[in-house]
Amino acid sequence: MACLFGGEARVVDLLIVQLLAQGYVSLNVRNRSLGVVKMLPSDADRMLRNAMQQIRLTPEIRPLRAALRKETVEVRRQLSRNGLQVNIWISLLLLMLNASSLFCAFTFGIGLWVFMSTDGWVWVDIISFLLLGKWILNLFSRANLTHQGMKVLKAIRRDYDVYDLEKRFAVVGTGALSGGVMDELKGVFTSVDQEVAAESSCGGCGC
Protein backbone atom coordinates (compact mmCIF):
# COMPACT_ATOMS: atom_id res chain seq x y z
CA MET A 1 0.00 0.00 0.00
CA ALA A 2 2.76 2.43 0.93
CA CYS A 3 4.66 1.79 -2.29
CA LEU A 4 1.55 2.22 -4.44
CA PHE A 5 0.60 5.51 -2.84
CA GLY A 6 3.94 7.08 -1.94
CA GLY A 7 6.73 5.12 -3.58
CA GLU A 8 9.90 3.83 -1.96
CA ALA A 9 10.26 6.79 0.40
CA ARG A 10 6.95 6.02 2.08
CA VAL A 11 7.85 2.34 2.44
CA VAL A 12 10.96 3.39 4.37
CA ASP A 13 9.02 5.79 6.61
CA LEU A 14 6.33 3.14 7.19
CA LEU A 15 8.96 0.76 8.60
CA ILE A 16 9.94 3.46 11.09
CA VAL A 17 6.30 4.20 11.95
CA GLN A 18 5.58 0.49 12.51
CA LEU A 19 8.53 -0.05 14.84
CA LEU A 20 7.75 3.10 16.81
CA ALA A 21 4.00 2.45 17.03
CA GLN A 22 4.57 -1.10 18.24
CA GLY A 23 7.03 0.01 20.92
CA TYR A 24 10.17 -1.62 19.56
CA VAL A 25 12.07 1.66 19.22
CA SER A 26 11.98 5.06 20.90
CA LEU A 27 12.38 8.50 19.34
CA ASN A 28 14.93 11.09 20.43
CA VAL A 29 13.57 14.33 18.96
CA ARG A 30 16.57 16.43 19.87
CA ASN A 31 19.02 14.17 18.05
CA ARG A 32 16.46 13.11 15.42
CA SER A 33 17.37 9.50 16.09
CA LEU A 34 15.86 6.16 17.11
CA GLY A 35 16.90 3.79 19.88
CA VAL A 36 16.11 0.09 20.27
CA VAL A 37 13.78 -0.58 23.22
CA LYS A 38 13.06 -4.28 22.88
CA MET A 39 13.78 -7.15 20.52
CA LEU A 40 11.49 -8.16 17.70
CA PRO A 41 9.99 -11.65 17.93
CA SER A 42 11.75 -14.31 15.87
CA ASP A 43 8.80 -14.61 13.50
CA ALA A 44 8.67 -10.86 12.74
CA ASP A 45 8.55 -9.65 9.15
CA ARG A 46 11.94 -9.81 7.44
CA MET A 47 11.86 -6.14 6.42
CA LEU A 48 11.16 -5.07 9.99
CA ARG A 49 14.03 -7.23 11.26
CA ASN A 50 16.38 -5.72 8.70
CA ALA A 51 15.17 -2.23 9.63
CA MET A 52 15.82 -2.91 13.31
CA GLN A 53 19.33 -4.11 12.52
CA GLN A 54 19.95 -0.98 10.47
CA ILE A 55 18.72 1.24 13.33
CA ARG A 56 21.45 -0.20 15.55
CA LEU A 57 24.03 0.79 12.92
CA THR A 58 22.45 4.08 11.79
CA PRO A 59 20.17 5.53 14.49
CA GLU A 60 19.80 9.05 13.02
CA ILE A 61 16.66 9.42 10.92
CA ARG A 62 18.17 11.08 7.84
CA PRO A 63 20.98 8.57 7.12
CA LEU A 64 18.69 5.76 8.29
CA ARG A 65 16.17 6.63 5.60
CA ALA A 66 18.87 6.47 2.95
CA ALA A 67 20.20 3.16 4.27
CA LEU A 68 16.75 1.55 4.32
CA ARG A 69 16.06 2.31 0.64
CA LYS A 70 17.50 -1.09 -0.26
CA GLU A 71 14.60 -2.68 1.60
CA THR A 72 12.16 -1.29 -0.96
CA VAL A 73 13.61 -3.26 -3.88
CA GLU A 74 11.74 -6.44 -2.98
CA VAL A 75 8.48 -4.50 -2.57
CA ARG A 76 8.76 -3.13 -6.11
CA ARG A 77 9.55 -6.60 -7.44
CA GLN A 78 6.53 -8.06 -5.66
CA LEU A 79 4.24 -5.38 -7.10
CA SER A 80 5.66 -6.07 -10.57
CA ARG A 81 5.15 -9.84 -10.16
CA ASN A 82 1.54 -9.19 -9.13
CA GLY A 83 0.96 -7.02 -12.18
CA LEU A 84 0.41 -3.80 -10.22
CA GLN A 85 3.58 -1.93 -11.14
CA VAL A 86 5.56 -1.92 -14.37
CA ASN A 87 9.23 -2.82 -14.56
CA ILE A 88 11.45 0.09 -13.48
CA TRP A 89 13.06 0.34 -16.95
CA ILE A 90 9.66 0.44 -18.64
CA SER A 91 8.60 3.09 -16.11
CA LEU A 92 11.60 5.24 -17.06
CA LEU A 93 10.81 4.78 -20.76
CA LEU A 94 7.19 5.88 -20.16
CA LEU A 95 8.39 8.97 -18.32
CA MET A 96 10.68 9.85 -21.23
CA LEU A 97 7.83 9.41 -23.71
CA ASN A 98 5.53 11.54 -21.55
CA ALA A 99 8.19 14.26 -21.34
CA SER A 100 8.52 14.20 -25.13
CA SER A 101 4.73 14.46 -25.46
CA LEU A 102 4.63 17.43 -23.12
CA PHE A 103 7.37 19.17 -25.11
CA CYS A 104 5.54 18.53 -28.40
CA ALA A 105 2.27 19.82 -26.91
CA PHE A 106 4.03 22.97 -25.72
CA THR A 107 5.63 23.53 -29.12
CA PHE A 108 2.31 22.93 -30.89
CA GLY A 109 0.57 25.37 -28.56
CA ILE A 110 3.11 28.10 -29.18
CA GLY A 111 2.79 27.51 -32.91
CA LEU A 112 -0.97 27.92 -32.86
CA TRP A 113 -0.62 31.02 -30.71
CA VAL A 114 1.69 32.60 -33.27
CA PHE A 115 -0.12 31.64 -36.50
CA MET A 116 -3.73 31.98 -35.31
CA SER A 117 -3.61 35.30 -33.55
CA THR A 118 -7.33 36.11 -33.57
CA ASP A 119 -8.94 36.20 -30.14
CA GLY A 120 -11.20 33.22 -30.77
CA TRP A 121 -8.38 30.95 -31.88
CA VAL A 122 -6.15 32.05 -29.00
CA TRP A 123 -8.73 30.97 -26.42
CA VAL A 124 -9.30 27.65 -28.20
CA ASP A 125 -5.54 27.18 -28.22
CA ILE A 126 -5.21 27.96 -24.50
CA ILE A 127 -8.02 25.61 -23.46
CA SER A 128 -6.79 22.78 -25.67
CA PHE A 129 -3.24 23.18 -24.42
CA LEU A 130 -4.34 23.15 -20.75
CA LEU A 131 -6.46 20.02 -21.23
CA LEU A 132 -3.64 18.23 -23.05
CA GLY A 133 -1.13 19.29 -20.39
CA LYS A 134 -3.40 17.99 -17.61
CA TRP A 135 -3.75 14.64 -19.38
CA ILE A 136 0.02 14.30 -19.82
CA LEU A 137 0.70 15.29 -16.19
CA ASN A 138 -1.74 12.59 -15.09
CA LEU A 139 0.33 10.10 -17.08
CA PHE A 140 3.46 11.36 -15.28
CA SER A 141 1.87 10.71 -11.90
CA ARG A 142 1.00 7.08 -12.69
CA ALA A 143 3.71 6.08 -15.16
CA ASN A 144 4.92 3.31 -12.83
CA LEU A 145 1.47 1.75 -12.27
CA THR A 146 -0.34 -0.69 -14.51
CA HIS A 147 -4.06 -0.44 -15.20
CA GLN A 148 -4.63 -3.13 -12.58
CA GLY A 149 -2.44 -1.18 -10.16
CA MET A 150 -4.59 1.91 -10.63
CA LYS A 151 -7.73 -0.14 -9.94
CA VAL A 152 -6.23 -1.56 -6.74
CA LEU A 153 -5.09 1.92 -5.65
CA LYS A 154 -8.59 3.32 -6.12
CA ALA A 155 -10.14 0.37 -4.26
CA ILE A 156 -7.75 0.82 -1.32
CA ARG A 157 -8.41 4.57 -1.17
CA ARG A 158 -12.14 3.84 -1.02
CA ASP A 159 -12.12 0.99 1.54
CA TYR A 160 -9.02 1.15 3.77
CA ASP A 161 -9.37 1.26 7.58
CA VAL A 162 -8.90 4.93 8.51
CA TYR A 163 -8.53 3.99 12.18
CA ASP A 164 -5.50 1.79 11.54
CA LEU A 165 -2.46 4.07 11.92
CA GLU A 166 -0.16 2.01 9.74
CA LYS A 167 -2.66 1.66 6.88
CA ARG A 168 -3.61 5.33 7.17
CA PHE A 169 0.05 6.33 6.95
CA ALA A 170 0.56 4.05 3.92
CA VAL A 171 -2.25 5.85 2.10
CA VAL A 172 -1.92 9.52 3.15
CA GLY A 173 1.66 9.83 4.45
CA THR A 174 2.80 12.08 7.30
CA GLY A 175 -0.63 13.70 7.52
CA ALA A 176 -1.74 10.52 9.29
CA LEU A 177 0.68 11.05 12.18
CA SER A 178 -0.96 12.67 15.19
CA GLY A 179 -0.91 12.34 18.95
CA GLY A 180 2.04 12.01 21.33
CA VAL A 181 5.18 10.52 19.86
CA MET A 182 3.63 10.41 16.38
CA ASP A 183 3.35 14.20 16.38
CA GLU A 184 7.02 14.32 17.31
CA LEU A 185 7.91 11.87 14.54
CA LYS A 186 5.93 13.99 12.08
CA GLY A 187 7.98 17.03 13.14
CA VAL A 188 11.23 15.10 12.65
CA PHE A 189 10.20 13.84 9.20
CA THR A 190 9.17 17.38 8.21
CA SER A 191 12.40 18.97 9.43
CA VAL A 192 14.54 16.37 7.64
CA ASP A 193 12.55 16.84 4.42
CA GLN A 194 12.94 20.61 4.63
CA GLU A 195 16.67 20.24 5.25
CA VAL A 196 17.09 17.97 2.24
CA ALA A 197 15.01 20.29 0.05
CA ALA A 198 17.02 23.33 1.15
CA GLU A 199 20.31 21.61 0.39
CA SER A 200 19.05 20.49 -3.02
CA SER A 201 17.88 24.00 -3.83
CA CYS A 202 21.11 25.54 -2.65
CA GLY A 203 23.17 23.04 -4.63
CA GLY A 204 21.15 23.80 -7.74
CA CYS A 205 21.77 27.56 -7.52
CA GLY A 206 25.45 27.20 -6.56
CA CYS A 207 25.23 28.44 -2.97
Q: Tell me the mean pLDDT in the region 86-90.
A: 53
Task: Tell me: pLDDT of 14 over 60.
Answer: yes
Per-residue burial over 58-70, b if 16 or more Cβ lie within 10 Å, else e, is: bbebbebbebbee
Is 62 in the same domain as 151?
yes
The structure's pTM equals 0.70
Find the Cα–Cα–Cα–Cα dihedral 106, 108, 110, 116, rounded to 10°.
Answer: -150
Is 49 in the same domain as 134?
no
Tell me the pLDDT tens digit for each residue of 180-192.
999 999 999 999 9
Is 10 in the same domain as 74?
yes
Structural domain that includes position 164: 2-83+146-205
Is 97 in the same domain as 196?
no
Count the domains in the chain.
Answer: 2
Is 14 in the same domain as 68?
yes
Give the whole-angstrom CA distance, residue 37 versus residue 20.
Answer: 10
CB atoms within 10 A of CB 167: 17
DSSP H or E stretch at residue 56: helix 46-57
Is 78 in the same domain as 152?
yes
